[in-house]
Amino acid sequence: MCVENIIAGLSGKTAEERKHLRADAEKWAASATPTAQAEARALLEALKALGPTPMARARPRAKTKPLAPPPQEIERLGLGERVSLAFDALPPTESDRRLLDALLTHPGATSEELSAAMGYKGRSGWHLQFGLMVQRRLGWIDPQARANADETTWLCAVLAKAWNTRQGCRFRMKPEVVAALAKLGIATRAKRAR
Are residues 183 and 155 part of one domain? yes
Give strand pairing partners of 99.
none
Are residues 99 and 189 part of one domain? yes
Is the model more confident about 32 or about 89? 89
Are residues 79 and 31 part of one domain? no
CATH code where residue 137 lies: 1.10.10
pLDDT grade, residue 62 (50/70/90)?
Answer: low
Region 113-133: mean pLDDT is 87
What is the predicted pLDDT for the residue at 146?
Answer: 57
Nearest CA-CA partner of 83 in 182, 194, 188, 192: 182
Q: What is the pTM of this model?
A: 0.61
Do the Cβ atoms of 124 and 181 come closer than 8 Å?
A: no
Helices (H), 106-174: 111-118, 125-136, 138-141, 156-159
Please check whether residue 159 lies inside any domain of the structure.
yes
Please check whether residue 64 lies inside any domain of the structure.
no
Are residues 112 and 17 part of one domain? no
Q: SS3 for 146? A: helix
Q: How far apart are CA 139 and CA 147, in angstroms?
A: 10
pLDDT grade, residue 84 (50/70/90)?
Answer: very high
Which range is most confident: 63-67, 89-93, 120-124, 189-193?
A: 89-93
Region 41-64: mean pLDDT is 64
pLDDT grade, residue 1 (50/70/90)?
Answer: very low
Question: What does the pLDDT look like over 139-188, one tens digit per residue?
Answer: 888 877 655 545 544 788 889 998 888 888 899 999 999 999 999 888 65
Please check whether residue 100 lies inside any domain of the structure.
yes
The DSSP code for 65 is: P
Q: How far apart are CA 103 and CA 174, in angstroms?
A: 11
Please check whether residue 162 lies inside any domain of the structure.
yes
Q: How many domains does the chain have?
A: 2
Are residues 100 and 34 part of one domain? no
Cβ-in-10-Å burial (0-12, 13-18, 19+) of 46 comes to middle
Q: In what order do the strands lie in the sheet with 160-165?
A: 109-110, 168-173, 160-165
Q: How far apart are CA 99 and CA 156, in angstroms?
A: 11
Please check whether residue 60 lies inside any domain of the structure.
no
Are residues 82 and 31 part of one domain? no
Are residues 90 and 130 part of one domain? yes
Are residues 160 and 103 part of one domain? yes
Do the Cβ atoms of 169 and 161 come closer than 8 Å?
A: no
What is the predicted pLDDT for the residue at 193?
Answer: 41
Region 15-36: mean pLDDT is 81
Region 114-130: mean pLDDT is 87
* Position 190 pLDDT exceeds 50: no
Are residues 115 and 50 part of one domain? no
Please check whether residue 65 lies inside any domain of the structure.
no
Region 22-49: mean pLDDT is 81
What is the predicted pLDDT for the residue at 194?
Answer: 42
Please check whether residue 69 lies inside any domain of the structure.
no
Residue 35 domain boundaries:
3-55
Nearest CA-CA partner of 98 in 73, 125, 76: 125
Please check whether residue 101 lies inside any domain of the structure.
yes
Region 23-27: mean pLDDT is 83
Are residues 137 and 89 part of one domain? yes
* Position 58 pLDDT exceeds 50: no
**Across the chain, what does the average pLDDT equal?**
79
Are residues 134 and 92 part of one domain? yes
